[in-house]
Structure 1
């Protein structure tokens, strides 16, 4: 591990003005509001004296315990009031300031307030690992991930058992292709096998391909945060003949997000004579065209971003949902807490998180026989709902921009083979990169068109190529563009090289929709098997491999055999009209039959069980 410049980082903590000039302005603003806040809190009993005979420290500890409970329930206003009461009683309590930071950082508009709180905590406890981990997390949210890595390293140096900081440090290093301690990852991961260790399940998906390991990361998180899961109620009533099944979809991604790009067609083609759709949006970032399409697809669209968990559960209960579908899992902003409290008799994990939730009250997970074969069922706590083809939906109406561009306009050579990688960089490890560089040596006129996001990893990427004997300028960076423009530019690539631990998911379907072949290697965990499922549903099983050698050999054949590439492209073009992958209506009818089967199982008084359907 590279040693962080701890002296300089700690100096920043002692004098925040050079690093965060906006902080001083904010701090002045906050101070000017203190009297108004004091009056408000007095009026509402938030600065009440402690119980007779009770010591201040005891009172503060009770307040902190109450604040944690309120935060778990997403009762943000109440939690903040309690924390500020604790701070008014004990201004030098670093834990209270750190908790306030943790609360405030959940609101993207209050990140500077959160920063102010955690800086106070650091000044009070300059050797507390958890405070530096919070600074790192804040910097992540502020899109300053390189700086965040340094603070996570400091957190781990102060406490090697700060596993949250360790997991986030490894995950961020993957984002920036910082492979200096890649060989240490197995050693790091062993530490997480100890009982009761908390960590971000999502952060591990790209670090190892181990279904059992991922399952226990989810279970550990759930046990720590979600106690007493609510069981499905016993069905005792009668349903009127022809009564529609009411489905609730829960997410904060009802906008131009990968999940919506896949499932807008599903939402729009649901059979409204049999189903009612309720969408619960707890924080979409944009109100764009995709958001409007999602709204119009619903019978009822509820903006519930300001609802605490109890309120949200009450709302869903009043709506009398039959089936609740979680589209988030452990991805950013997920709210598994509401599913622990149960928002519907049948609860389903779907699409957003490529792994098990570990939540006892999550009845089902949607998959297919490739993503979760029977031999790997043991790695999932949910019962499995098996789709007959690929579990992943696609929108056959996705628009490809009409762009008058050329290879040269993207920095690509007009001649020569173009390998490409449009996965997020964090998915790439030295294992794949070694194979890619070997391919480039074997195909001399080739280049690698690599998605670099904002571009800050271009030079490190080229240095890694040079270390492997490949001219770094043969790595051509691709920037972030709008989805329809991205689909349009894919025609300039010849082959998409997939990653291993976490395959291309939406990006694989993007490539195939745009006519770009993908070669993949299937692994063990769900995230490592998705592209294999997608390619199979597109009729391109010969591009699915199971070993690194076969992966290399298939990719090399595609690059060196023009007739084989032409055959693949012809089959890919035909897949748009005759393959299950791009049959939105057929997929929707299958998905509906599967949900009906799960709901009927509940109506019949049975416990959730793994089930599937045959192709219609």
Structure 2
């Protein structure tokens, strides 16, 4: 690769120049707010931090470190004030403007302010790859993926060791089905086989199926951010007979989100004679039906959006939680920081992130014997709480809209077999896609109904199909729909083709609930074993395969053998009534028994250990 120079930088920046506000606008804004900032800084003791005789450079470095520590505690307003104080001392330090961009980016309403700060950093250090990587991150969060890729690529050109930019570049390309350098991924991944290299753990789930590697990525991220994980206090008191166990659920997804689609029924079915349910919401996007449902399901609902880590920990301690359940892990805007500081004597990772957190103070992770069999236990830092069936909850009350639509209304052929992929496109790799194209070639008049997040992705996929000898028109795109209408449209498909490194999770349960069979291939890491667990709990073990060859053979048999497909559909329909997958009440009782065991283990004075229960 040629050495970076000014040309590629300008090539990336120039087309988007008009989108960036003028720097003078931001300078004037800062001046206009100076008096308010001064008052805030005086109030919080942030105005005079320079020790007598201290050099400006040393003071700025001290302030920068202070701001970084505040960011980790989610004290962003204070961090902003400290950075402004440092900028007042040394306005030409690009690090300060970049860090300001990072702080402002945490507020979705201040993205353009963040961009202004980052562009100031670029002006001061035009060959520093980290600034371009931060702009790429901002664009990624705005879901401007193509533009984000441009900036991640330039970041890596200027600094090949910018591993965060590299991991985000790979992940963002996956979102756009850009497979141009897919064959380079094994080489890229070698750079991350070092405990000291930092990256986004979530970014790697779809890039490789390697549970040991995923564990290493999680531990590296945790070690870089958190120190001194708080141990559970020793239980010294006595519990009154019949005293309820207080469970707190922590997330920012208590709205129309996959998490609520799965666990809404669990929340509603908790036994209130034994449990008190607390919900801690640190940022749900909408006050919609699912949000109100969560509020109604809780004995106590806490809106903690404006609280920093210490305040949340104090609040949870004041609520005297017994068990705290993290529903986020390393997914977007997760808050593992509060669990490092310990919000409850028993802490449990559950549902949101399909992998280990690497956090020493996370006592348990909920799984089952398929997602984490005994020989793979070593890849998880948590002790495992084994559910007797599938670890994933389901809501047996989910509504499917009654829609008088046809295949034609979805641009599907009225005749012919309809393969489908409703996974997020980032999960799809050339491996699966090649198998799917072989199926289309083998099954005349068949099509692939493909969920795409952006319409332009379909052109790229159709070109990929053409390169494999398949008419691109046989890939039929479909987009996002409200959940009840998404479930309704699934009746028009014949088979859901799963992805490998990251299986269908909620989407697999959606398909089975709507009567659509799923064929999966089970891998090694948790994310690659979820659909196998779901299908097994539904009594459809014959749709769980363990090799690409068998995956192809089972999918082809379903497409070519109408009697086999009819038998699968019959068993699938029966699973709604007789399988543990869709028995929300029984699932809830099992989950509660498991929580009781974990808490009793703590009361008995034992260290956390893997525990399981048999089906009731």
Query: 1:86, 1:106 → 2: CA distance?
Result: 20
Contact kept? 1:6, 1:154, Cα under 8 Å: no
Q: Confirm whether residue 408 of structure 1 aligns to residue 408 of structure 2.
A: yes
- 1:29 Cα deviation from its structure 2 partner: 4.1
Relative to structure 1, is the Cα distance of residues 528 and 555 closer, same or farther in structure 2, using a 3 angstrom cutoff? same
Query: 1:92, 1:408 → 2: CA distance?
Result: 61
- 1:33 Cα deviation from its structure 2 partner: 2.9
Relative to structure 1, is the Cα distance of residues 6 and 500 closer, same or farther in structure 2, using a 3 angstrom cutoff? farther
The answer for the alignment partner of 1:33 in structure 2 is: 33
The answer for the alignment partner of 2:457 in structure 1 is: 457
Gaps of 5+ in 2: none
* Greater displacement, 31-40 / 189-198: 31-40
Query: 1:25, 1:399 → 2: CA distance?
Result: 50
Q: Confirm whether residue 126 of structure 1 aligns to residue 136 of structure 2.
A: no
RMSD value over aligned CA atoms? 1.8
1:318-357 matches, cutoff 5 A: 318-357=318-357
Relative to structure 1, is the Cα distance of residues 127 and 37 closer, same or farther in structure 2, using a 3 angstrom cutoff? same
Contact kept? 1:129, 1:162, Cα under 8 Å: yes
Q: Confirm whether residue 212 of structure 1 aligns to residue 212 of structure 2.
A: yes
Relative to structure 1, is the Cα distance of residues 43 and 613 closer, same or farther in structure 2, using a 3 angstrom cutoff? closer
Contact kept? 2:21, 2:116, Cα under 8 Å: no
Relative to structure 1, is the Cα distance of residues 416 and 28 closer, same or farther in structure 2, using a 3 angstrom cutoff? farther
The answer for the alignment partner of 1:581 in structure 2 is: 581
Contact kept? 1:4, 1:150, Cα under 8 Å: no
Q: Confirm whether residue 88 of structure 1 aligns to residue 82 of structure 2.
A: no
- 1:88 Cα deviation from its structure 2 partner: 0.6
Query: 1:57, 1:451 → 2: CA distance?
Result: 53
- 1:17 Cα deviation from its structure 2 partner: 4.7
Contact kept? 2:76, 2:103, Cα under 8 Å: yes
1:148-163 matches, cutoff 5 A: 148-163=148-163
Residue deviations 1:350-384 (CA, integer Å, cap 9, x gap):
00000000111000000000000001101101000
- 1:518 Cα deviation from its structure 2 partner: 0.1
Residue deviations 1:198-219 (CA, integer Å, cap 9, x gap):
1100000000000000000001
Relative to structure 1, is the Cα distance of residues 344 and 580 closer, same or farther in structure 2, using a 3 angstrom cutoff? same
Contact kept? 1:122, 1:131, Cα under 8 Å: yes
Query: 1:197, 1:16 → 2: CA distance?
Result: 31
Gaps of 5+ in 1: none
Contact kept? 2:8, 2:154, Cα under 8 Å: no
Contact kept? 2:23, 2:120, Cα under 8 Å: no
SS at match of 2:551: helix
- 1:403 Cα deviation from its structure 2 partner: 1.1
SS at match of 1:589: helix
Residue deviations 1:156-175 (CA, integer Å, cap 9, x gap):
11111111011000001111
Relative to structure 1, is the Cα distance of residues 444 and 6 closer, same or farther in structure 2, using a 3 angstrom cutoff? farther
Query: 1:266, 1:43 → 2: CA distance?
Result: 45
- 1:61 Cα deviation from its structure 2 partner: 0.7
SS at match of 2:441: helix
Contact kept? 1:13, 1:123, Cα under 8 Å: no
Q: Confirm whether residue 168 of structure 1 aligns to residue 146 of structure 2.
A: no
Aligned residues: 616
Relative to structure 1, is the Cα distance of residues 6 and 200 closer, same or farther in structure 2, using a 3 angstrom cutoff? farther
Query: 1:15, 1:370 → 2: CA distance?
Result: 50
SS at match of 2:101: helix
Residue deviations 1:563-582 (CA, integer Å, cap 9, x gap):
00000001100110100000
- 1:52 Cα deviation from its structure 2 partner: 1.9
Contact kept? 2:496, 2:517, Cα under 8 Å: yes
- 1:434 Cα deviation from its structure 2 partner: 0.5
- 1:338 Cα deviation from its structure 2 partner: 0.6
Contact kept? 1:231, 1:361, Cα under 8 Å: yes
SS at match of 1:77: helix
The answer for the alignment partner of 1:280 in structure 2 is: 280
Query: 2:141, 2:525 → 1: CA distance?
Result: 28
Contact kept? 2:49, 2:59, Cα under 8 Å: no
- 1:142 Cα deviation from its structure 2 partner: 1.6
The answer for the alignment partner of 1:477 in structure 2 is: 477
